[in-house]
């Protein structure tokens, strides 16, 4: 079978490997759809390898159909369509340094338990929609950490898939005054289509001035002007994002960090202290996967359509991976031949 692995910095290959052998407690999933995550791009750029220098299997936003089960597996039968929880087992995370990756014809789920490693799909849910559960769960956890209330003024930095996911959930929370910020005009268009109240192109606008205009000016702190934004969500990870937020934030504003930073960033802790700024972090999806799956089963196509900008067959993975690097892309989805 074919599987995508990292062999070194910017060296991503489609390898020919043996089909996995299913142990007594394992199941084998035929992958039907798998999204490309920003972390996949980062892993590839860094050239991460597994212990001992083994290639790093890639891909974790997957859905598919069970084709084989071990003799000791209960609650899972061949034919079950399911979405993968890639963090379902701490000792075998999928596509994030574990032994398996989901950009593959087949995915081995070790010690599989229904509801933990695999979430059964509602009747009729397409694999592509199911493969959105994982990234939307990351975004939902960020929104949950922010805990916005009706009337709050919110800013989302970044219109990649996680930032777009935040737009999706903010709308569903009844937040009517939130702004998306990005450096890409095309990504800002995706945010508008997802329902952002307003957008700011940080290449061409002074963000602090734009926020003061849209969210209002607030009382100065230490003689410096502040903006009326209640919650800042960093889903971009630019080196100036957090320092700029701290400089413009009002007294008792909240910051939620979901972006992954590869390098340290210097923060003005004195200003944070005086302003009583709350800095929260959000990683993964401790409790969100099931809610996301239920939500995706209930919405119409138009509610989520802008989230996926490109679709490629697995045979065109290299082109899809290049597309995902483009700053104008939203979610890039890999589709496999269905059984």
Residue-wise pLDDT for 200-250, tens only, equals 999 999 999 999 999 999 999 989 999 999 999 999 999 999 999 999 999
**Distance (Å, whole) CA 48 – CA 45:** 8
CA distances, 97 to each of 229, 237, 254, 283, 323 (Å):
38, 22, 32, 16, 23
| C-alpha 156 chain-centroid distance | 14
pLDDT of 148 > 80? The answer is yes
Give yes or no: residues 105 and 226 share one domain: no
- pLDDT of 339 strictly over 70: no
Look up the CATH number of the domain holding residue 223. Answer: 3.40.50.720
- pLDDT recorded at residue 154: 98
pLDDT recorded at residue 91: 67
Strand duo 198-201 + 81-84: pairing: unpaired
On the question of pLDDT at 89 being above 80, the answer is no
- Judged on CB neighbours under 10 Å (0-12, 13-18, 19+), 11 is exposed
Co-location of 81 and 98 in the same domain: yes
Residues 216 and 277 in one domain: yes
Tell me, yes or no, whether 39 and 140 share the same domain: no
Average pLDDT, the chain: 96
Note whether residue 290 is domain-resident. Answer: no
189 vs 339, which has greater pLDDT? 189
Look at residue 88 and tell me whether its pLDDT is greater than 90.
no
CB-based burial label for 217 (10 Å; 0-12, 13-18, 19+): middle
Helices 185-194 & 161-172, crossing angle to 10 degrees?
20
Q: What is the pLDDT of residue 64?
A: 98
In a shared domain, residues 198 and 322: no
Q: Both 196 and 233 in a single domain?
A: yes
Task: Please tell me whether residues 141 and 158 are part of one structural domain.
Answer: yes
Is 53's pLDDT higher than 90? yes
Are residues 103 and 216 located together in one domain of the fold?
no
Confirm if 236 and 327 have CB atoms less than 8 A apart: no
pLDDT of residue 41 exceeding 70:
yes
Task: Report the pLDDT value the prediction gives residue 90, as an integer from 0 to 100.
Answer: 67
Residues 143 and 97 in one domain: no
Domain span at residue 187 reads: 136-281
Q: Is the residue at 293 inside a domain?
A: no
Residues 165 and 267 in one domain: yes
Of 57, 62, 5, 4, residue with least CA distance to 28: 62
Domain count, the chain: 2
């Amino acid at each position: 079978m074919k599987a995508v692995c990292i062999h070194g910095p910017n060296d991503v290959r489609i390898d020919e490997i043996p089909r996995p052998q299913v142990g007594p407690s394992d199941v084998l999933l035929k992958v039907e759809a798998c999204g490309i995550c920003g972390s996949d791009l980062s892993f590839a750029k860094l050239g991460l390898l597994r212990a001992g220098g083994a290639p790093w299997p890639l891909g974790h936003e997957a859905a598919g159909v069970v084709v084989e089960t071990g003799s000791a597996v209960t609650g899972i039968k061949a034919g079950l369509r399911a979405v993968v929880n890639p963090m379902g087992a701490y000792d075998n995370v999928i596509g994030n340094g574990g032994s398996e990756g989901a950009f593959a014809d087949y995915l081995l789920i070790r010690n599989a338990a229904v509801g933990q490693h695999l979430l059964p799909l509602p009747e009729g849910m397409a694999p592509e929609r199911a493969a959105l559960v994982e990234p939307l769960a990351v975004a939902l956890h960020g929104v949950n950490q922010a805990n916005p209330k009706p009337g709050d003024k919110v800013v989302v930095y970044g219109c990649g898939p996680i930032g777009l996911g935040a737009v999706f959930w903010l709308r569903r929370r009844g937040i009517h005054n939130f702004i998306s910020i990005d450096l890409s005009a095309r990504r800002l268009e995706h945010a508008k289509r997802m329902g952002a109240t307003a957008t700011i192109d940080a290449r061409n606008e002074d963000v602090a001035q734009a926020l003061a205009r849209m969210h209002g000016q607030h009382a100065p702190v230490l003689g410096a002007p502040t903006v009326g934004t209640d919650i800042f969500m960093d889903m971009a990870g630019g080196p100036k994002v957090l320092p700029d937020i701290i400089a413009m934030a009002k007294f008792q504003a909240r910051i939620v960090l979901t972006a992954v930073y590869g390098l340290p960033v210097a923060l003005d802790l004195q200003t944070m202290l005086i302003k009583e700024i709350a800095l929260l972090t959000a990683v993964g999806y401790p409790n969100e996967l099931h809610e996301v799956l239920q939500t995706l089963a209930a919405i119409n196509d138009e509610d989520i359509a802008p989230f996926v900008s490109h679709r490629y067959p697995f045979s065109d993975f290299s082109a899809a991976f290049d597309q995902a690097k483009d700053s104008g892309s939203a979610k890039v989805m890999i589709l496999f031949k269905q059984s």
